[in-house]
Amino acid sequence: MRIERIDIDGFGRLANASWELPPGLSVFLGQNEAGKSTLLNAVRALLFGFESTRNGRVWYPALAGGRRGGRLALLDRAGGRWTVTRHGDGGGTGSLAVEAPTGNQGGTETLDRLLHGADKDLFRSIFAFGLSELSDVSSLSAEGIRGRIYGAATGLGGASAVDLEGELRERLEEHFKPSGQKPALNALFARMDELRDRIAALSRAPEEHAAAHRERAEAAAAADRLRAEAEALRARIVRLERSRAAAPIIVELTEAQVRLAATDPSLDRLGADAAADAESLGVALQAARTRLRDADRAAADLGVDIGTVAVDQALLAASSNLRALEADRAALAGDEGRRADALAAIARHDGTIGDQVARTRMASEAALLALDDSIPAIDALDGHEAAIERTATMVTDAERLVRSMRDQAASRIGDATMESPPLDVEDAMAALRQVAAARATGRSSPLPSALRQMPGLAIAVVVPLLTGVLVGSAAGNWQAGAVIGIAAAVAAVLLARAAPGAVELDAALLVRAGLPLEPSDEVIERRREELALERARREHGRATSSDLQHRLAAAEADAATAAADREAVLRRWGSWLAAAGLPAESTPAVARKTLAAAGIARRAADDRREQQAIADGVRERATAFERRASTLLDTLGIAPGATAAGRLQSAMDRLEEAMRADERRRGLIAQQAKLAAQRVEIVAAVEAAERELGAQLVATGVADLGALRSRARAGAERRAIADRVRELRERLVTLAGSQPVADELLAESATLDLAAVEIEHGETTARLAAVEDEERAVHAGVGELTARIRGLEASADLGAARQELAALQGQARALGTSWAATALAGRLLAETRHRYERERQPDVVKSAQAYFRQITNGRYVRIMAPPGDASVRVETETGEQLLPSQLSRGTVEQLYLALRFGLIEEFARHAEPLPVVMDDILVNFDAARAGRAASAIGELATTHQVIFFTCRAETANALDPGGGRTRALG
């Protein structure tokens, strides 16, 4: 590859400058400050970018104007033209555009590929160098330089093995750095350290759990102790408060007991109710005596009352008889009603019987009542009546039959008259036969021609005939219609015959036969059937009239027989009427009514008798009552009166009065007896009260009730004191809670110091409050420990930390493995490259050795060790091996120039040869060596483009003796 053209838009003091460069050598001759170094650096910048700004100063700013940068036109080995355009104000890549021979646009990668991985350092060290770089030994030994030199031969395109190793290094550093925090593994390790510490802290949870359990148990025990102490203190406080509360009770109790002791114990025997009992006895005694007096007064009053009551003993003695009479009287009052009813019934029956006699034709009631209306009599009557009706019916039927037969006979005679025929059936049939015979003998009959000649005659016969038949048919009697039709036809024929030009006899024959003119066989046949039917009908009528005559005669005979039977029956009926006592000429119906009236009258007569008997009985009992009443009332001295009943009522009133007086007297007597019994009881009560009161007084040892009252009061006072003592003791027990404690309180009361009790109460209460506070605190502690235990049991922190640590360990392991594989890959790549370098190195040294020998004119014949290696040595033609430090400056520069040439050729063996740019590098060479170096450069220029900057004309001449490739700069 060579540079075909350089265009500088602006770079340092260069602006809008262009240079066309030929293949091979180009020499730029210029004085100092002419811009040689500027142009050299411009080429570097256009190929590899701008140097970075240092200390705020821009590297080669466009001092002469123009846009900083420019372009290079490059020709590759195949003749393809590439254009590299780069501009930029600061350091770095700037804006780069690479145009390929194909016209495609590219950037850095395209340029790297074009330069075969040569980078800025490689270019500066090997391909574009000045005097300062020439003497820089380290630049040749740099790993990157060597790697790229050899890398050009690796076939890795734009990349070199060094690049790949660098990439792997970057990857490694992304994973891990010995120091630092950002790489993934470093960050993981840091987090894992944290987790380890956290896990260590959390792992103490079981011990903490156990410790918390122990603490809680201890705290619970302490709480129990405190609770017990508090209970004891509370009990003591209760005891003290009891003592304090019991003190006044005990004082009063003591005082009451003293007062009690001062009273008479014998009063206890008196009993609480002794005085009251005695008072009650006195009161009861007084009351009994009062009641006795009252009873005696009442008895006296009763005696007086009994004496004033008068009683009618006679009346009382007859009371049963009087009551019987009264009962009879009451019964008779009822009988009088029955008697009136009976009399009314008798009157009714009399009317009934009279009506029945009047309704019949009987002469008297007796005659009526004498009639036999029994069932046999009625049956006989029914038999007669049936016979009478039967014979009457028979006579009537026979007579009706005779009339009917006579009517029929008369009717037949009429019909026969009506049937006297205008049509002689036999004649018509004879005429029909003649017509039929004539038709049978042939068709020579003159009738047709005659009929043809007389169509009016035919019409005159047929039309009336048909009209008659139609009229008859419409009236339902076609035979009559036919007769009418025939008659009309006959009339028409007669009229026709009377008329001029009338029909001949043959036509009369047809009329006789009842046929139309020119009848068809079918018409003739139908006429024959009609005439036969008419003949049969007429014969049937004749036979019926004969039968009717016979049946009329028989009917008339039957009618005569029936009339005779009827006469006989009527005679027997008359006989029966006479025998039964019924009026003669009575019809069976009348006889039946008469017998029915007789039955009604008989039943009325029977009941009338019974009613009469009832009325008679009542009358008899009334008469007897009157008699007995008069006797008794008279005996009793009841004043006479209008009626016995009235007297009896008076007696009954007096009886009632006597009974009431008797009742009252009896009551008074009963009261008197009861009062007497009460008095006995009252007297006994008085006596008992007197005895009891006396006994009470004796028992209490007092003489009288007043003394008893006094003693009772003393006893009551003693009991009141005793009650108070008892009450106080009970209060004390209640206060103490039990009898033993009460006894203790009583026992200690003697020595009880209430002031000391108060002090102790205060102290104990204060202590209790303190103990309760402490107990609460301990309980709170137990609660906290329980919460702590639960918290520890439920804590997922340890598991979570372990899980996270395990996860991080897994990631670290994976990253570590990846890191190790990457590191190994890098190391193996480097190892491969080193081997490659070692294998290629002999060619480089060999080539450099040739250049070195040429420049030194054979003074040095061999170069040993890798280029740039600190241990590089040279061997003189005498076999002496020297280190660079043992060589002159010029010789060292020649050595490194030769090594560069070796490397340039090695690079070119595998890649596009790059242009070589040198900036006055021969200044330290002696003339001879400079000349030989110029020759070597010339040789190099046969395979590479060489651009040489110099300020020395002799150098330019040495390089380009003809001057055709030299141009002035500046």
Q: Which residues ranging from 836 to 875 are in contact with other proteins (CB under 8 A)?
A: 836
For residue 265, the tally of other CB atoms under 10 A from its CB is 9
829 scored as a contact of other proteins (CB under 8 A): yes
Residues with Cβ within 8 Å of 451's Cβ and at least 6 positions away in sequence, in order, are 457, 458, 503, 507, 517, 518
Residues with Cβ within 8 Å of 841's Cβ and at least 6 positions away in sequence, in order, are 866, 867
819 scored as a contact of other proteins (CB under 8 A): yes
d(CA 795, CA 139): 64
Q: Which stretch binds other proteins (CB under 8 A): 183-191, 224-232, 438-446, 780-788?
A: 183-191
Q: Residue 578, class by beta-carbon neighbours within 10 Å (0-12 exposed, 13-18 middle, 19+ buried)?
A: exposed
Residues with Cβ within 8 Å of 645's Cβ and at least 6 positions away in sequence, in order, are 329, 629
410 scored as a contact of other proteins (CB under 8 A): no
CB of 159 to other proteins, least distance (A): 4
Give the H or E element holding residue 373. none
CB of 155 to other proteins, least distance (A): 5
CB of 195 to other proteins, least distance (A): 10
605 scored as a contact of other proteins (CB under 8 A): no
How long a stretch of residues is the chain? 970
Residue 207: both structure tokens together: 């011990």
Q: Which residues ranging from 887 to 926 are in contact with other proteins (CB under 8 A)?
A: none
> 3-state SS of 286-338?
HHHHHHHHHHHHHHHHHHHHHHHCCCCHHHHHCHHHHHHHHHHHHHHHHHHHH
102 scored as a contact of other proteins (CB under 8 A): no
Residue 470: both structure tokens together: 């139609």
CB of 75 to other proteins, least distance (A): 22
119 scored as a contact of other proteins (CB under 8 A): no
CB of 44 to other proteins, least distance (A): 25
Q: Please, what sign has the CA dihedral across residues 855, 857, 859, 862?
A: positive
Q: Which residues ranging from 207 to 246 are in contact with other proteins (CB under 8 A)?
A: 207, 209-210, 212-214
Q: Which residues ranging from 137 to 176 are in contact with other proteins (CB under 8 A)?
A: 153-159, 161, 163-164, 167-168, 171, 176
**Based on CB atoms, which residue is closest to other proteins, 691 or 835?**
835
Residue labelled with tokens 């003993």 = 313
Q: In DSSP terms, which residues pair with 918 in a beta bridge?
A: 129, 948
104 scored as a contact of other proteins (CB under 8 A): no
Q: What is the DSSP letter of 823?
A: H
CB of 57 to other proteins, least distance (A): 35
Q: Which of 163, 151, 65 is nearest to 108 (CA)?
A: 163
108 scored as a contact of other proteins (CB under 8 A): no
Q: Which of 810, 842, 961, 964 binds other proteins (CB under 8 A)?
A: 810
Residue labelled with tokens 């007092």 = 702
385 scored as a contact of other proteins (CB under 8 A): no
809 scored as a contact of other proteins (CB under 8 A): yes
CB of 80 to other proteins, least distance (A): 17
247 scored as a contact of other proteins (CB under 8 A): no
**Based on CB atoms, which residue is closest to other proteins, 152 or 591?**
152
Query: Please, are residues 253 and 728 in contact by the beta-carbon 8 Å criterion?
Result: yes
Q: Which of 56, 103, 178, 376 binds other proteins (CB under 8 A)?
A: 178
Q: How many residues bind other proteins (CB under 8 A)?
A: 71
CB of 811 to other proteins, least distance (A): 6
Query: Please, are residues 400 and 556 in contact by the beta-carbon 8 Å criterion?
Result: no
835 scored as a contact of other proteins (CB under 8 A): yes
409 scored as a contact of other proteins (CB under 8 A): no
CB of 842 to other proteins, least distance (A): 16
Strand pairing class (95-99; 25-29): unpaired
CB of 111 to other proteins, least distance (A): 13
Q: Which of 135, 811, 876, 957 binds other proteins (CB under 8 A)?
A: 811
Query: Please, are residues 107 and 896 in contact by the beta-carbon 8 Å criterion?
Result: no
**Based on CB atoms, which residue is closest to other proteins, 562 or 792?**
792
**Based on CB atoms, which residue is closest to other proteins, 200 or 228?**
200
Q: Specify the amino acid at residue 296.
A: D
Q: Which of 298, 343, 825, 887 binds other proteins (CB under 8 A)?
A: 825
Q: Which residues ranging from 777 to 796 are in contact with other proteins (CB under 8 A)?
A: 789, 792-796
CB of 829 to other proteins, least distance (A): 5
100 scored as a contact of other proteins (CB under 8 A): no
Give the H or E element holding residue 202. helix 184-202
d(CA 581, CA 599): 14
